[in-house]
Structure 1
Amino acid sequence: MPARRPSLFRPLAAVAMVAASSLYALAQQPPSPSRVRGTIEAVDGDLVAVKSRSGEDVKLHMTADLRVVGITRISLADVKVGSFIGATTVPGADGMPKALEVHVFPEDMRGTGEGSRPYDLRPNSTMTNATVAESVVGNDGHTLLVKYKDGEKKVLVSPDTPVVTYVPADKSDLKAGAKVIAFVKPLSDGSFETNRISVGRDGLTPPM
């Protein structure tokens, strides 16, 4: 007579199937955004209503320790050897990273996010925060050699690449029509909490 399986087997199998289904469902969910880019539509107390670049209506709850920084355009000539910069890049046709934007950090922000990592501005984009070690002017623009604690990278910055820097700002700069990028974490009601917002000056859209 064949041995009977323990009666505990079926409940355990059912639990395993439910767990596997739950993990599969979680895997299919899109990742929660860590940044919201868009245009402010209204500000009501500590709540900011933003129309995202993809057309979604997003509500942002500002924390008590919110930091607001302004973004303003500068010249590529302002990027010097020794500058601490951030550069969003995508692979160029020849394999060299091509800058979609460059932002120069002021001295009090030197070291912010140092390193190189995947970024969400465009598919296959990378954010590299590093110190400019060398700048070479060529026919296609500037080639920057940037160095960070774990390595180095050459970046091609064309003449039409947006170059910006950070300037002081505060909550009074958060008004309808302003272009912003907010660093967020999701809340249970579908809205977001933000403790840092970068706002473009003079109608500028933060390019990062």
Structure 2
Amino acid sequence: MSIASSTSLRLKLGVSVAALAFASVAFAQAPAAKPARIRGDIVSLSGDTLTVHRRSGDTVTIDMKQDTPVTAVKNIKLADIKPGSFIGTAATTGTDGKMTATEVLVFPEAARGTGEGHYAWDLAPNSTMTNANVDQVVTGTSGRDLKLSYKGGSNTVTVPDGVPVVTFAPAARTDLVAGKKVFIVASPVSGTEFAASRVVVEKDGVAPPM
């Protein structure tokens, strides 16, 4: 194996491991105390303290250990979602009972089965998260209908054209710079203080949509 091939393999394995570790916390239902999901813009990173201005308007401080996993996401095409893909999709339900995706994350194969199921999500009012296998993809006039199945149920989600479709990409602590958007899974400490479990940071112009 060439040096370039070996380096590429290590990078892919690293992304898969990081993605699996992150996904296991971010997209799984917590039966006991739920982790906080923090969305906002980085104000600063000073030592092990990450300061974030949340989209809710308040500013919080987050303890970032040196080994806290940091990853990013990259855009992929809606057409890249195939039968057999394992995805996580946030969606809203209309008055007609139909679900419309607001974002889709395609998990790497190593993370298949993570957080499998259908449950409430806090991306928007009355939003849900479905982590499931794609059984069928039906192309429509305004996007694609994904027929999904998971342990205990199934549903169909319409993914309109233009909805963010992403997968995990490598990132590092050095990507945590002021102005970048982040999605953080963290444990509450006290008041506006948290301890990070996982961080997804904006990179190459792609902000975490989840």
| TM class, shorter-length | 0.7 to 0.9
Match in the other structure for 1:207 = 209
Give the paired residue count: 178
Match in the other structure for 1:55 = 57
Unaligned runs of 5+ in 2: 1-32
Q: Find the aligned partners of 1:43 and 1:150 in 2 and give their Cα distance.
A: 42
Normalised by the length of structure 1, the TM-score is: 0.81
Cα RMSD over matched residues? 1.7
> Rg larger in 1 or in 2?
1
Q: Find the aligned partners of 1:200 and 1:107 in 2 and give their Cα distance.
A: 23
Displacement of 1:93: 4.2
Match in the other structure for 2:153 = 151
Match in the other structure for 1:171 = 173
Q: Deviations over 1:28-83 (max 9, x none)?
A: xxx98711101111111111011111221110101354111111111101111111
Q: Find the aligned partners of 1:207 and 1:65 in 2 and give their Cα distance.
A: 24
Q: Find the aligned partners of 1:188 and 1:59 in 2 and give their Cα distance.
A: 10
Displacement of 1:92: 2.4
Q: Secondary structure at the match of 1:187?
A: strand
The amino acid across from 2:143 in the alignment is G
Segment of structure 1 superposing worse, 117-126 or 90-99: 90-99
The amino acid across from 1:153 in the alignment is N
CA contact (8 A) 1:179 1:204 kept: no
Q: Find the aligned partners of 1:85 and 1:183 in 2 and give their Cα distance.
A: 19
Normalised by the length of structure 2, the TM-score is: 0.80
The amino acid across from 2:40 in the alignment is G
Unaligned runs of 5+ in 1: 1-30
CA contact (8 A) 1:178 1:203 kept: no
Task: Among all aligned residue pairs of Structure 1 and Structure 2, give the percentage whose two residues are the same amino acid.
Answer: 47
Q: Structure 1 residues 32, 108: CA separation in 2 closer, same or farther (over 3 Å shift)?
A: closer
The amino acid across from 1:132 in the alignment is V
Q: Find the aligned partners of 1:189 and 1:94 in 2 and give their Cα distance.
A: 40
Match in the other structure for 2:81 = 79
Which consecutive aligned stretches of 4+ in structure 1 deviate over 6 angstroms post-superposition? none
